[in-house]
Amino acid sequence: MTEDIDVKINVDTLMDGDQYFVRTEIETRSVTIHGPFPDLQKAQKLKAEQIEHRSDAIDAIKQNLRQTVSALASR
């Protein structure tokens, strides 16, 4: 298995009229390659399992990002 994770955080100050805002942008990218597999059927099985659990992974990532943003704002 190979894994590549990239995280970028940009923070900007914005002004709207006489008010100021801080904008935090977090970009994440994760690429993981599993294998090699002895046949297509085993590779397709893992693919199907990952697709089946995709929404759980999305929810977990969103929750983690919310916690990260909250931690940044509270410091």
pTM: 0.71
Of residues 54 and 1, more confidence is placed in 54
What phi, psi does 66 have (nearest 5°)?
-60, -45
Cα within 13 Å of Cα(19), Cβ side: 2
Sign of CA dihedral 63, 69, 72, 75: negative
Mean pLDDT of 20-30: 93
Say how far apart CA 15 and CA 62 lie, in whole Å. 27
